[in-house]
Each structure stands twice: as C-alpha cells, then as structure tokens.
Structure 1
Amino acid sequence: MNKLKNELKAYQNEANIWMVSGGITNSAGNLALHLIGNLNHYIGAEMGNSGYQRDRDSEFTIKNVPRDEILKMIEDTRHIITKALLEFPEDWFSRRYPLEEFGYPMTYEYFMVHLVSHINYHLGQINYHRRLLST
C-alpha cells in the first residue's frame, strides 16, 4: 500500500493521474481505486469480515477523485487489511478459500499469492503510466 501511495505522489501534475492516452485505457487513479476495492473485498471483507461491499464497476468509472482523497482511502485500506491479516488464524492459510474466483478451489495461501501478483501488476502499470506521461 505504501508503494501505491508513493507512485501516486510521484505524479508532478495531479491531473495526469486521471489521463488516458492511446492504448492506455485505465488511468492510474482508476487502477488505484481498483486495488483499493480489490483488497477491501478479498482481504477486508472475505478474511476480516469488515462488511465492505464492493462496486467493481465504479472502480473504473469514477473519475477525478482528488489525490489526497485516494491517499486517505489507501491508508484506510492498509489499516483494514492489516487488522484482517493479524486476526486471521495462521493455520487457516492451508484451508480452502471460500470463493472460486478462477473456477476452481484454492487455499487462502494460494489466493494471497495471486493478490500479491495482482497488486504488483497494477503497480507496474501505474509506474509506466506516470513515466509515459512525464516525458
């Protein structure tokens, strides 16, 4: 989550967070909202029983949220997922994750590795987006 905050802070022009260009169809702002929703849903709600209700479509349709507001959302999400992970019984990681997001059963551990990969994929997109727009 700190890396996501740092990527957004690295945009010299805040408006560029919401820009799309050429074949880039997702802005850094929308990717950040997507990661916030994703982690709140899969870790906060599914593992931590936070009660979070995800609206995945809005993660990609909402525009022009101020950077400071997104940074606060990231920090709030960091607290929620930290709480969920600290309270989650370690011996449950080998248990079956309740959702079959890929059409087959998997363990919590397997799904957590997927989430880390998913985060890093979008962090790379955001980093590339920023560097592309700053040239």
Structure 2
Amino acid sequence: MLLQTLKSLFRRDLDRLKKEIESYQHESKIWYFEKSIANSAGNLCLHLVGNLNTYIGAELGKTGYVRHRELEFSLKNVPRAELLVKIDQTIEVVEKALDKVTDQQLQQEYPILVFDEKTSTEYLLVHLATHLTYHLGQINYHRRLLDT
C-alpha cells in the first residue's frame, strides 16, 4: 500500500515539477536568483533529479547513476528542454525502482547512511517525497516572484 502511495506522490510531484519549469515565461529566469534567494529554479530542479536518481535509482534500482552533487548547484543555463528530459527520465527511474521494492524491504535498514543515524528504507522514501515537495514549493514561489 505505501509503495503505491509513494509511486503516486512521486509521479504527481515530478509532473508538477515539469509544469513549473514549463510555466516560466522567460526561460532565462529559470536560472535567476537575487538577494537572499540563493538557488535558482534550475539548480533546484537539478538537485531534485540528482537526489532521486541517487537514493532511489542508484541504490534501490541499481541503475549505476553516479551523482555529482556540486554540479547540481553550480551548473547554469541548462536549456529548459534538457531539464524536462531529465525530469521525464527521473520519473521512469523512480517508477521502475519502486516496482522492485518489496514491503519487507521497506522495513529493512536503508543500505547507505544518509543522515546522522541509520533509517529504514520506508523512512528514507517518505523523506525523499517530502524533500521533493519542499523544493517544488520553492520553485513555484521563485517562478511567481521572479518570472516577470
């Protein structure tokens, strides 16, 4: 039951991420930041893609993905079309990986240490869903505030 819920939420929010990136009237504003807004929507998008491909794709789905976290925040001006492709690819990776996870696996310890202490796979997946939603909200606010 939880796995289906998580799949549904990841799909919903990754589709919303696509919609946010598509909704920028000025593509250059995807990469804009000012004053106390430290991260652009583009960098947050790259961060979410990297995060999900690492913790769900590489670890649970065994995709072989190698994360370059520093580039998630330092790359600039990646074309909108490329961001959208990355999101679509991430949707596919997340769905395929979660299809492989069993209910028993959810209760087991997540294979790598992510936080200060070990967690279950279930805990980490719920965290990843809320992490996605948190940054999605930031991107929505960024677009409405700065895409003028």
Aligned match for 2:73, one of 60, 63, 70: 60
2-side partners of 1:18 and 1:74: how far apart? 16
Overall identity of the aligned pairs, in %: 51
2-side partners of 1:80 and 1:113: how far apart? 17
Q: Which structure features the higher share of helix residues?
A: 2
State yes or no: 1:110 paired with 2:117. Answer: no
1:51-74 CA-to-partner distances (Å, cap 9, x unmatched) read 000000000001000001100011
2:20 — aligned with what? 7
Superposition deviation, residue 93 in structure 1: 0.2
1:62-92 CA-to-partner distances (Å, cap 9, x unmatched) read 1000001100011011111110001122221
2:92 — aligned with what? 79
State yes or no: 1:120 paired with 2:133. Answer: yes
Letter in 2 for 1:100: L
State yes or no: 1:31 paired with 2:60. Answer: no
2:106 — aligned with what? 93
TM-score by length of 1: 0.97
1-side partners of 2:47 and 2:80: how far apart? 15
Letter in 2 for 1:27: S
Give unpaired runs (5+ residues) of structure 1: none
2:34 — aligned with what? 21
Identify the structure with bigger relative contact order (alpha carbons < 8 Å, sequence gap 6+).
2
2-side partners of 1:7 and 1:18: how far apart? 13
Aligned residues: 135
TM-score by length of 2: 0.89
Superposition deviation, residue 134 in structure 1: 3.3
Letter in 2 for 1:125: Q
Give unpaired runs (5+ residues) of structure 2: 1-13
Tell me how large the CA RMSD over aligned residues is: 0.9
